[in-house]
């Protein structure tokens, strides 16, 4: 009964943000122009471009999988890999939808820790990638048919097709949003919302079941024993985050359960950020599109920075 009650509570918490969140996320994906974002990232200095890459995802509420095609679109439209990687790291947590979910599940303080850490790690990773792997190719303009974000059968793939999910800058206005053809945009929003729900609901359901299991049956003494070894727990959290991949939203119930069992805040942050940043679904497209050097730098920077920052948060909080 305790397990079922916990699972129902997690489901209720997701329901508070899911319905409106999917609809509004679908609408934003229909009106935001990725080509304009790409031009902004390629036209600024390295510092400013990576800062924008780490924060612009606030207006494009994407999970870790659905952020991949958008990040690749940014890379194809720009001249540097760093801002695209920064976008990919920070977006799953630094967006209005992710922040609301973090707040509901983990509280406002942990929400700020995770989102702030994500932006910081994303910015530094982007800077290091651009410093160590300067890209000398000329910017390639995006095709009129942009990669889809959530209209494919799997959001971790990149498919060139009709622009059913987002809009391109066909009029050359350079505006971030396109509100022309409102009825068409509403139809696109509905299609995007339904596709996003189909992609995320299995992960969310799995996260609810795993989180309820951990919260109900994992002995608190085990977590307390690990926390007494301050150097070991972040290592285990990093290994677990790398091996056990889950969607960003789907991992929230598990981290919630572990935090209630006594897991340190920094270790919870490691599970969330490293979990969505160092998995094959993310590293595979980076390797194919940007090369081996960038993929290795990306993975190493996320793991090392998340580990160091996790130790700091364990000491401070």
- When the pLDDT of each residue in the chain is averaged and rounded to a whole number, the result is 76
Which pLDDT tens digit goes with each residue over 218-251? 777 767 666 666 678 888 888 887 776 666 777 8
Over range 132-149, report the average pLDDT.
48
Q: Distance between CA atoms of 208 and 210, rounded to whole angstroms?
A: 6
Asked if residues 94 and 120 have their Cβ atoms less than 8 Å apart, the reply is no
Number of domains composing the chain: 1
Query: Does residue 258 have a pLDDT over 80?
Result: yes
Which pLDDT tens digit goes with each residue over 67-120? 777 777 677 766 688 998 998 899 888 887 788 888 888 999 999 999 999 999
With left for phi above 0 and alpha for psi between -120 and 50, is residue 291 left, alpha or beta?
Answer: left
pTM of the model: 0.75
| pLDDT for res 37 | 65
Q: Lowest-confidence range among 31-35, 50-54, 264-268? A: 31-35
Compute the C-alpha angle 105/57/51, nearest 5°.
115
| pLDDT for res 174 | 58
- 3-state SS class at 59: helix
Q: Distance between CA atoms of 211 and 44, rounded to whole angstroms?
A: 43
Over range 126-145, report the average pLDDT.
63
Query: Does residue 60 have a pLDDT over 80?
Result: no
Asked if residues 276 and 233 have their Cβ atoms less than 8 Å apart, the reply is no
Asked if residues 70 and 62 have their Cβ atoms less than 8 Å apart, the reply is yes
Query: Does residue 151 have a pLDDT over 80?
Result: no
| pLDDT for res 40 | 64
Domain hosting 21: range is 2-316
Asked if residues 24 and 160 have their Cβ atoms less than 8 Å apart, the reply is no
Higher pLDDT pick, 166 / 112: 112
Query: Does residue 284 have a pLDDT over 50?
Result: yes
Query: Does residue 15 have a pLDDT over 80?
Result: no
Query: Does residue 126 have a pLDDT over 60?
Result: yes
Residue entry with tokens 């609408």: 27
| pLDDT for res 64 | 61
């Amino acid at each position: 009964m305790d397990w079922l009650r916990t699972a129902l509570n997690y489901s209720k918490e997701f329901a508070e943000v899911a319905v409106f969140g999917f609809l509004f996320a679908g609408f934003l994906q229909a009106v935001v122009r990725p080509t304009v974002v790409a031009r902004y990232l390629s036209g600024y200095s390295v510092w400013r471009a990576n800062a924008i890459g780490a924060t612009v995802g606030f207006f494009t509420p994407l999970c870790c999988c659905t952020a991949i095609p958008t990040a690749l679109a940014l890379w194809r439209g720009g001249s540097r890999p760093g801002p695209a990687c920064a976008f990919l790291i920070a977006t799953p947590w630094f967006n209005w939808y992710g922040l609301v979910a973090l707040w509901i599940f983990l509280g406002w303080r942990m929400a700020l820790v995770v989102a702030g850490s994500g932006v910081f790690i994303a910015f530094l990773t982007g800077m290091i990638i651009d410093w160590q792997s300067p890209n000398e190719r000329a910017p390639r303009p995006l095709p009129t048919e942009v990669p889809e974000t959530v209209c494919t059968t799997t959001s971790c793939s990149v498919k060139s097709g009709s622009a059913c999910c987002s809009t391109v800058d066909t009029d050359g206005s350079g505006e971030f949003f396109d509100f022309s053809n409102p009825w068409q945009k509403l139809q696109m929003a509905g299609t995007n919302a339904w596709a996003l729900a189909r992609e995320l609901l299995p992960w969310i359901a799995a996260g609810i079941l795993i989180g309820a299991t951990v919260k109900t049956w994992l002995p608190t003494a085990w977590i307390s024993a690990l926390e007494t070894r301050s150097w070991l727990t972040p290592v285990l959290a990093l290994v677990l985050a790398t091996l056990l991949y889950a969607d960003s939203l789907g991992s929230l119930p598990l981290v919630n359960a572990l935090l209630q069992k006594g897991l340190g805040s920094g270790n919870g942050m490691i599970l969330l950020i490293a979990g969505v940043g160092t998995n094959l679904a993310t590293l595979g497209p980076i390797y194919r599109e940007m090369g081996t050097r960038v993929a290795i730098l990306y993975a190493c920077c996320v793991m090392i920075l998340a580990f160091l920052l996790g130790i700091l948060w364990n000491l401070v909080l």
